[in-house]
Structure 1
Amino acid sequence: MNQENTDNIEKEINENEVSTEQTLENSIPPAEELTNEERLEEELAKEKDKFLRLFAEFENFKRRTAKERMDLFKTANQEVLQAMLPVMDDFDRAMIQISKTEDETLLKGVELIHEKLKSTLVSKGLEQVEIKAGDVFNADFAEAITQIPAPSDDLKGKIVDVIEKGYKLGDKIIRFPKVIIGQ
């Protein structure tokens, strides 16, 4: 009886498998297969679109961070260079006084050091703001310390004297020149 039960069960299982396969084949009409394929294609298109958008967003992120990093590198030296500007001013004043001495060796040595300091600062991106007496005063590029009566009519509203040089780092002015303007 054991063997008979086993054979019957196997026979029923085989009949059920065949009937299940036939039922599945008969239950899916060809039109639904196409809609399944179309649906899969639509899902694939959506996933491709998501991927492309994510990829574009990542590329924009990379560009933005690269630009921010470049801006940071450009202005990273700003604090150090601003701290060096008073030293440069003192050095310029010292050069004026040393040039009045008659010791040529001292003058040459100090000039070499002065030029080396200037070239080092320029190599780091520091530039002097070019402004001189007689130029028209522009508040965007200079800071007026005071106004004095103009020595001549042609100096009214113009720069009479430059008290302190101005400097810029790249396109950004890090210290405005301090000037006296004629009234």
Structure 2
Amino acid sequence: MGFLAPLFMKDNQELHQERGVDCGCGDGSCGTEKQTAGVQEPETSGCSIREEVVDGLREREGKEKQEGQGGAGRVEQDQSASGQTDGGEEPAGEDAEVLDPQVLKEEVSSLRQQVAELTQQLLRLHADFDNYRKRTRKNMEEEILRANEALVKQLLPVLDNLERALAVDSDASEASVREGVELVYRQFLDILSREGLQPIKAVGEPFDPNLHEAMMVETVEDPELENRVIGEFLKGYTFRERVLRAAMVKVGKAQQ
């Protein structure tokens, strides 16, 4: 700042000469004011102006120093923070809990015991289910045997009548033999009907492929017999509403 003093002194003297003011000190260093040509100058002298300029420069220089120190401090803080961040990993937390080998051994032993118990339960369930399946199959077979036994028992009277028919004297008339056979037939059919056996109607009925099996097609003059059963070769039966055997029939066909 010292090298600026002559410049300020020179500027102040020129300013005094322009305004016609003489401060009395020759260099403008005092605060005495003089008036010339009836012009009154303000109280501020050249020395005061110089001091204000110097103070302003000093204040500006101080601010620049403070800003420089503040920037350096911020850089150091950033470097410090970066060092803390990049310096390494954070310290690890508490170590994992270490189990006692004796506790682990006891748990393994308990789990093995549970596995053994569950295995035994599974084997028992498997054996029970196998026994249940065998018992069910045996019960079904016994039910079938009992049903067959009941049917055979009902057929015994038919067998008795057939034996009586065979025991008849050979000199018996044809009419009496026929009457005996018809009696046995009706008895036998009645027994089967009670069990659920029913004959399938054929002659005169419309042809039904679910009930009838066409063995022959014959041309007929009556158009009403078109696609109707006009003959039966073998009787069909249903057992409890299911086709046991389809009737073998002859079907009519109208003339072209």
TM-score computed with the length of structure 2 as normaliser? 0.34
Q: Rg larger in 1 or in 2?
A: 2
Report which of the two has the higher share of helix: 1
TM-score computed with the length of structure 1 as normaliser? 0.44
Q: Pick 1 or 2: higher relative contact order, CA cutoff 8 A, min separation 6.
A: 1
